[in-house]
């Protein structure tokens, strides 16, 4: 085989490899900045599964979560609702029926908005569930 052809092919392979790694890094950083909530406070309201628990997802989606979200005002970046469908381990019970999550800019502002409305929020629980939720407040790292 011609030495120039081999050298050219090797050069192309090296360039392609370098470009692919650079592109992958750029794509990862781009995705991170586009989709990350880094620095926000995440409030997860988790409803554990147990035999006999009830949960009205339609009410939660259309009434309860929008009601709480409205209380948070400009501090709220977004909220999500997750419906549990399976455990991560086959043939084991579902850990949570649902999880509602609020992403907020400032924890103090969140608490200030929720505190005077806590009784109204709790009074709404029986309209969609008989579960006492678990709440996790965390800082989004990535």
Q: CATH code at 103?
A: 3.30.70.100
In this structure, are 25 and 83 located in the same domain? no
In this structure, are 78 and 54 located in the same domain? yes
| Alpha helices, DSSP H, located in the chain | 3-35, 57-59, 65-72, 107-114, 118-124
How far is Cα 72 from Cα 142, in angstroms, rounded to an integer?
Answer: 23
The string of pLDDT tens digits covering residues 19-53 is 455 444 454 455 555 567 899 999 999 999 999 99
Residue 130 pLDDT more than 50?
yes
- Taking the model in full, what pTM does it have? 0.75
Q: Which pairing describes strands 96-104 and 41-48: parallel, antiparallel, or unpaired?
A: antiparallel
In this structure, are 15 and 84 located in the same domain? no
Q: Residue 78: beta bridge partners?
A: 103
Radius of gyration (C-alpha) of the chain in whole angstroms:
24
In this structure, are 17 and 57 located in the same domain? no
How far is Cα 32 from Cα 25, in angstroms, rounded to an integer?
Answer: 10
When pLDDT is averaged across residues 72-80 and rounded to a whole number, the result is 98
In this structure, are 103 and 132 located in the same domain? yes
In this structure, are 53 and 114 located in the same domain? yes
Residue 3, domain extent: 1-35
């Amino acid at each position: 085989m011609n030495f120039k052809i081999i050298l050219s092919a090797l050069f192309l392979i090296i360039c392609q490899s370098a470009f692919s790694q650079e592109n992958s890094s750029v794509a990862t950083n781009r995705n991170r900045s586009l989709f990350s909530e880094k620095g926000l406070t995440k409030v997860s309201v988790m409803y554990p599964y147990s035999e006999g628990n009830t949960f009205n997802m339609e009410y939660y989606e259309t009434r309860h979560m929008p009601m709480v979200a409205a209380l948070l005002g400009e501090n709220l970046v977004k909220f999500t609702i997750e419906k549990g469908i399976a455990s991560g381990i086959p043939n084991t019970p579902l850990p949570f029926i649902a999880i509602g999550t609020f992403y907020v800019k400032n924890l103090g502002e969140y608490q200030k908005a929720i505190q005077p409305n806590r009784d109204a929020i709790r009074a709404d629980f029986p309209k969609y569930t008989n579960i006492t939720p678990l709440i996790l407040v965390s800082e989004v790292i990535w």
